[in-house]
Amino acid sequence: MLDQTPKEIAVRTGICVNPLKTCQPVGALYAALGVQKCLPHSHGSQGCVSYHRTFLTRHFKEPAVASSSSFTEGASVFGGGANLKQSVKNIFDVYDPDVIAVHTTCLSETIGDDLNAFIQELDIPDGKLVVHCNTPSYVGSHVTGFGQMVAGFIKYLAQKSEPVNKIGVFPGFVNPGDIRELKRLFGLMGVTATILPDTSESLDNPMTGTYQMFPEGGTSIEEIRSLGSVKRALALGPVASKEPALVLKSKCGVETDLMVLPMGLARVDAFIMKLKEISGAPVPQELELERGRLLDLMLDANQYFHQKKVAIFGDPDTVTGLTAMALELGLAPKYVATGTPGEAFVTEVNGLLDQYEAKNGTRVKASADLFELHQWIKNEPVDLLLGTSYGKQIAKAEDIPLVRAGFPILDRYGHAHHPLIGYAGTRRLAELILGALMDRYDRDCADEDLDVVM
């Protein structure tokens, strides 16, 4: 375990220990699985795609299908064009997807394979499509890889034509449960939307007894094409969704509202007001009641949240949402970290801390790793860890409760099915945090303080 992590912090510039992210192709593969009858294709070695599929399968507890160009020594020296050509032919012959979404890997990027040129030379069957994006693993993280793949679909498929009475939505790197919650909120607010990608069915399939390589659901090719004609687009999560928003504006002139993930009371309020502005419809009573129940929980349990120190870690868009929610609950974020590069993350979190006058020695860092987070905690402990499964070693070593949220959750079941966004998702997460804090109190308190009624 990690109980031998040294307390003394040394400056490290050339090594990452226990990284707080994974590589771009993981995000690209996930995005492609949210497109109807799409087979993700990894242009690199078999080992790469095996890891990426396994990583996603362990989080979603669903098979993450993908193919590979299967580089060997020859392709590594002479290029992978011939491998891609043969792969595409085999895929269409054997699996018959509607679209193949190719993403690059470290190997194919390092040797300089030109995917644009390769794809133009392919013999693609009538009615079938091949799209691509560039996702070297030594740049960005799985979150930026996700955005690159979504942008790739826009570049290849979005078309400007007759305006359609709907909006486009880039949901960000979120779980299937979050996509379903978005759809529910759109329905309640009278908003018609095309969501790209839509993983609510493809990676959260019911058990039917029959295996489907291409599950029902996902964003259709026609829906992606129509994104060039929507009246407006919403891009949720700036790190994951900014790139596709820029591409859609550049190619088709569609204006986009770049918004944070709707997590926490104030951010959900802002999201609902944006939907109200788009639809012109009043906020339904159902949502007002949901908001009231969330607020009631926050007030009822305030004394248990108040000034409990928390370390928050994970993907940047999710972590900023979790930080906003934690501040609303009355928690005190002590450490806020993401492995994805980008100083905009630091600026946004510091802005939240300033807003709540909560910057009391808080450390905020992008391009961080879990080794450094652990060292911070060794020097000044916290009451709670809020983040991914990779925090469990720190939780065990330092005897701190861990509430799992975000991506990946590898060691528990059901997290991908439930939302973190919206009033409902915020309330559920607040309950999980409250339960963890009260369980710890019950475990540690004196016998005479162990009360059944709190």
Full strand arrangement of the beta sheet holding 99-104 = 67-68, 38-43, 99-104, 129-133
CA 52 from centroid of its chain's CA atoms: 15
Predicted local distance difference test score (pLDDT) of residue 1: 61
Cβ atoms of 203 and 64 closer than 8 Å: yes
CA 164 – CA 379 distance, rounded (Å): 56
Please report the domains of the chain, with CATH numbers, ordered by start residue: 24-157 (3.40.50.1980), 164-279 (3.40.50.1980), 285-449 (3.40.50.1980)
Tens digit of pLDDT at every position of the chain (454 positions):
677 888 888 888 888 899 999 999 999 999 999 999 999 999 999 899 999 999 999 999 999 999 999 988 877 777 788 899 999 999 999 999 999 999 999 989 998 989 999 999 999 999 999 999 999 999 999 999 999 999 999 999 999 988 888 999 999 999 999 999 999 999 999 999 999 999 998 888 888 888 888 988 899 999 999 999 999 999 999 999 999 999 999 999 999 999 999 999 999 999 999 999 999 999 999 999 999 999 999 999 999 999 999 999 999 999 999 999 999 999 999 999 999 999 999 999 999 999 999 988 999 999 999 999 999 999 999 999 999 999 999 999 999 999 999 999 999 999 999 999 999 999 999 999 999 999 999 999 999 889 888 7
Quick one: 70 exposed, middle or buried, by C-beta within 10 A (0-12, 13-18, 19+)?
middle
Helix (H) or strand (E) holding 150, with range, is: helix 142-157
97's tokens: 């997807």
Q: List residues bridging with 403 in a β-sheet.
A: 386
Residue of 262, 244, 241, 261 lying closest to 252 (CA atoms) = 244
Return the closest-CA partner of residue 286 out of 422, 168, 194, 434: 422
Q: Do residues 378 and 5 lie in contact, with contact meaning Cβ atoms separated by under 8 Å?
A: yes
- In the block, tokens 């891009």 appear at 235
Q: Annotate 73-135 with DSSP letters as a single string.
A: HHHHHH-SHHHHHHHHHHHHHHT--SEEEEEE-HHHHHTT--HHHHHHTS-PPTT-EEEEE--
CA nearest neighbour of 142 among 103, 170, 110:
103
Ramachandran category for residue 364: left, alpha or beta (phi over 0 → left; psi -120 to 50 → alpha): beta
Three-class SS state of 167? strand
How far is the C-alpha of 145 from the C-alpha of 31, rounded, in Å? 9
Q: Residue 236 pairs with which residues in a beta bridge? A: 259
| Angle CA 124–128–133, to nearest 5 | 80
pTM of the model: 0.95
Task: Please give the pLDDT value at position 81.
Answer: 87
Q: Residue 118 has what pLDDT?
A: 94
Task: Give the contacts of 192 (CB within 8 A, at least 6 positions apart).
Answer: 165, 166, 167, 186
